[in-house]
Structure 1
């Protein structure tokens, strides 16, 4: 069982943080644009709905069987890691999709066009052969090769290096550190969780709907980048209350004074987390409560849980900064 590091976040023993002295460019920009800063607070076991729905017991068991029980997930008792597609990978996926469309659909229309134009050209056989060869050499074969390589790499799980997602950021419960990465797993910055301010962002879409996000900004450095915490949710747009629940979830996960959030994605690591293991032993919680549940019971359980959601910000506010200055 792992132990916690000296910078681990404990909501019961927070040393008063000094006010920021460095110019907080990103935070100032966000707050001046009308975005809202969210306080640290006493958390509760309230979880965004999409975190319940992202992983099901059946899917988890399938992954366990595929890896012969040695299944390592990027959400566990030590850290939560968020990966994003690489730029070249996204471009390649676009080209593969375009190649598939050309091979299947454009080729069909090309054949129809050739059949129609052949009589109109007084049955010009050399022209028909020449145009067909040009299409095969310069359009069909390159697209077919791209599509074939994509299908093979997907089916045999041998993706090229640029198709593998890159690590973007990490919340580490045991060390208490929040880390943002550059491409190649190079650390852009890494600081204790308590040194970050959380900002609820909002912006209207082209259709007039409001899109919300969650950004963690370091309080003492003038970084131009923050932690896009909303990427923990798989959906591109979530209501405001879901973002508030996400901030509650992040604090609950990082807080070593209380057990891990009780969701399927973190259940495998509950026995390895000191605080969680102690609580589960006291309450007699089944180690595979979620993982051995059938799909119908799981769906019914999370529906009942979602219906009993309290106010996302009902927890008591924790004064993290002793004398917070205006941004």
Structure 2
């Protein structure tokens, strides 16, 4: 497999950037909305990885998921980064399922203990028959309904089967797609239709800072299309949230640039390790440096945590920011 029949002509290549048109003047509305925003620069590719993207994933979980769902596609692979968002009904469903599980596993033993202690303290006044009656009522009105709800949640979670009415209600929404092989960035509307799709090089990365509801500082990282004037940006910060240090958003932006750059291998992280053998540029790079193809996936969770802590320490002591890249001049 050659790179010619994998990457499209529109793919982003930092070594061959077509000169971009100058930025148009901002409208008054754009100037008002851009207060509190700073633009992050385009830069030369670096091996910098934003480790905050890794916090919800561990090697053992990756191995377990590979066994249970060998055909499952990751939201981030050698071809695309797809970001999804659940709706409010899905959040309610997850909260109720967690409450049901808590009731069955934790409240039930506690309730039994309280009944037993109460029967001992009030011996003769509170009979065992009364305790059994209260327990049966608890089982009837709490344990059975919660057990059924929890069991239904586990069935849906383990088999990916959801009845049609709930699947329509819980339908997740695709927010955006970054396609490495085509170089296109696509943003979707709430109904799932394409809002716009433009080449990656036509976007500026903007870091927005604003106070949150409790007064804490919140950050948002987004891609804003330079020429269309659209007020809708691509929310990259949905990958790590809004409570990180500013440097983490800069690292995420560099990691995204490296991912989209077909002259560079995929970022070296746990999430993308399985995809490395499917990307031709990355395959050549890994052969050259003789990289272990299962370096991350075969780690123990403890070793993985220690390596991540070490990487973060090195990043704080020696930040690796790529040199500025002038995209308005031929590369």
Fold conserved between structures, TM > 0.5 = yes
For 1:184 and 1:167, locate their aligned partners in 2 and report how far apart those are by CA, in whole Å. 9
Structure 1 residues 10, 290: closer, same or farther in 2, change over 3 A?
A: same
Aligned partner of 1:51 in structure 2 is: 53
For 2:158 and 2:208, locate their aligned partners in 1 and report how far apart those are by CA, in whole Å. 39
1:28 aligns with one of 11, 28, 31: 31
For 1:62 and 1:143, locate their aligned partners in 2 and report how far apart those are by CA, in whole Å. 27
1:281 aligns with one of 271, 287, 291: 287
For 1:290 and 1:266, locate their aligned partners in 2 and report how far apart those are by CA, in whole Å. 10
Aligned partner of 1:186 in structure 2 is: 193
Aligned-partner SS, 1:277: helix
- Tell me if structure 2 keeps the 8 A contact 1:248–1:312: no
Q: Does 1:242 align with 2:224?
A: no
Aligned partner of 2:183 in structure 1 is: 176
For 1:319 and 1:237, locate their aligned partners in 2 and report how far apart those are by CA, in whole Å. 30
RMSD: 3.2
> Bigger shift: 174-183 or 308-317?
308-317
- Tell me if structure 2 keeps the 8 A contact 1:9–1:173: yes
For 2:296 and 2:101, locate their aligned partners in 1 and report how far apart those are by CA, in whole Å. 39
1:163 aligns with one of 163, 166, 170: 170
Q: Does 1:208 align with 2:210?
A: no
Query: Could you report, residue by residue, the CA deviation over 1:226-282 in whole angstroms, capped at 9, with x for unpaired residues?
Result: 10110111x442111111111111111111111110001111111111211111011
- Tell me if structure 1 keeps the 8 A contact 2:45–2:264: no
Aligned partner of 1:132 in structure 2 is: none
For 1:36 and 1:47, locate their aligned partners in 2 and report how far apart those are by CA, in whole Å. 21
For 2:260 and 2:71, locate their aligned partners in 1 and report how far apart those are by CA, in whole Å. 25
> Bigger shift: 79-88 or 157-166?
157-166
For 1:26 and 1:93, locate their aligned partners in 2 and report how far apart those are by CA, in whole Å. 39
**1:308 Cα deviation (Å)?**
1.0
For 2:29 and 2:233, locate their aligned partners in 1 and report how far apart those are by CA, in whole Å. 8
For 1:294 and 1:26, locate their aligned partners in 2 and report how far apart those are by CA, in whole Å. 51
| TM-score, length basis structure 2 | 0.76
Please list every run of 5 or more consecutive structure 2 residues that lacks an aligned counterpart in the other structure. 112-139
Number of aligned pairs?
290
Structure 1 residues 211, 313: closer, same or farther in 2, change over 3 A?
A: farther
Structure 1 residues 290, 191: closer, same or farther in 2, change over 3 A?
A: same
Please list every run of 5 or more consecutive structure 1 residues that lacks an aligned counterpart in the other structure. 109-135, 323-327
Structure 1 residues 30, 251: closer, same or farther in 2, change over 3 A?
A: farther
- Mapping of 1:87-126 within 5 angstroms? 87-90=88-91
Structure 1 residues 299, 149: closer, same or farther in 2, change over 3 A?
A: closer
